[in-house]
């Protein structure tokens, strides 16, 4: 799997197509924004009920919890890879056979398209961020924590993108990936700490989560923002994210090398 280089004219065109596609199907994009706000409202209501009249649970103040949920909402908007759905669609329709004979590699095409989709949605942050401040709380972290959060955000996006790339590539064996997408979607939402922070999970479940890559998507960057991870814990969090980015990247490269043998292209 060659490196993605947007200096390539073909990849630049695909990137632009991804940006334009976001606004060609703008209603779907707007519904995604509404979903982020709705999820935040629901989770905030649930956790405020859990806290009740208490100011803190297990040493976590309600203000920190609301900020954590708000940051997770922001992450869910920023990190929303549709690459698995795109690959699955192309496999279902047989378009992948044409994609694979193009001068630009198939995986690089999909990555460029995904980056374009993301860039198109990120423009809406001018609406999403104020909305999250109204429905939740985005108390700014310290300058140092903000810088570390940005590093963690890049790694979180990378880990999420690679996980969903692998889900998409599984279509070369499964043909239809809807079941796999649903399974990974549910696992990711829960095990990433999007609904329940890892610090509230019981011992055995917490150990399981810490052995999986999903926490790198929501929990680790959000915990850096609210400064529940400090000192050595921050560097450990960044190290875990980097570790999973490398492992998943190597795994995706290997899976793609195997997937190419599953397609036979005929024509002349």
Cα 182 from Cα 6, distance rounded (Å): 31
- Helix boundaries (H) for 25-105: 26-51, 62-78, 83-93, 96-99
Q: Does a structural domain hold residue 57?
A: yes
Q: Does a structural domain hold residue 33?
A: yes
Average pLDDT over residues 219-244: 93
Q: Does a structural domain hold residue 3?
A: no
CB 252 within 8 A of CB 162: yes
Average pLDDT over the chain, rounded to whole?
89
| Cβ contacts of 255 within 8 Å, gap of 6 or more | 166, 169, 170
| Beta strands in the chain, from DSSP E residues, in sequence order | 56-57, 60-61
Q: Does a structural domain hold residue 4?
A: no
Instruction: Output DSSP code: residue 193.
Output: T
Q: Report the domain count for the chain.
A: 1
Cα 101 from Cα 103, distance rounded (Å): 7
Cα 189 from Cα 226, distance rounded (Å): 20
Q: Does a structural domain hold residue 268?
A: no
* Predicted TM-score of the model (pTM): 0.91
Tell me which residue range forms the domain holding 80: 9-262
* pLDDT over 90 at 265, yes or no: no
Q: Does a structural domain hold residue 65?
A: yes
Q: Does a structural domain hold residue 267?
A: no
Cα 238 from Cα 224, distance rounded (Å): 10
Cα 229 from Cα 82, distance rounded (Å): 30
pLDDT score for 4: 64
* pLDDT over 50 at 171, yes or no: yes
Q: 268: pLDDT confidence band, cut at 50, 70 and 90?
A: very low
* pLDDT over 90 at 81, yes or no: no
Q: Does a structural domain hold residue 104?
A: yes
pLDDT score for 93: 84
């Amino acid at each position: 799997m060659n490196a993605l280089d947007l200096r390539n004219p073909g990849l630049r065109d695909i990137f632009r197509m991804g940006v334009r596609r976001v606004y060609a199907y703008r209603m779907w994009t707007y519904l995604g924004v509404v979903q982020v706000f709705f999820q935040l409202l629901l989770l905030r209501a649930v956790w405020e009920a859990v806290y009740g009249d208490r100011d803190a649970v297990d040493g976590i103040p309600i203000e920190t919890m609301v900020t954590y949920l708000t940051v997770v909402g922001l992450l869910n908007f920023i990190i929303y890879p549709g690459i698995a759905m795109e690959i699955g669609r192309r496999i279902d329709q047989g378009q992948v056979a044409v994609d694979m004979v193009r001068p630009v590699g198939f995986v690089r095409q999909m990555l460029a398209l995904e980056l374009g989709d993301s860039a198109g949605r990120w423009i809406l942050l001018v609406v999403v961020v104020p909305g999250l401040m109204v429905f939740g709380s985005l108390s700014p972290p310290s300058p140092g924590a903000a810088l570390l959060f940005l590093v963690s955000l890049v790694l979180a996006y990378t880990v999420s993108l690679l996980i969903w790339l692998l889900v998409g590539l599984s279509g070369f064996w499964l043909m239809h990936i809807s079941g796999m997408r649903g399974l990974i979607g549910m696992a990711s939402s829960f095990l990433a700490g999007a609904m329940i922070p890892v610090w509230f999970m019981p011992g055995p479940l917490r150990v399981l989560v810490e052995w999986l890559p999903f926490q790198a998507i929501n929990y680790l960057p959000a915990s850096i923002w609210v400064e529940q991870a400090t000192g050595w814990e921050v560097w450990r969090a960044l190290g875990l994210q980097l570790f999973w980015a490398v492992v998943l990247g190597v795994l995706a490269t290997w899976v793609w090398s195997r997937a190419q043998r599953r397609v036979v292209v005929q024509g002349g």
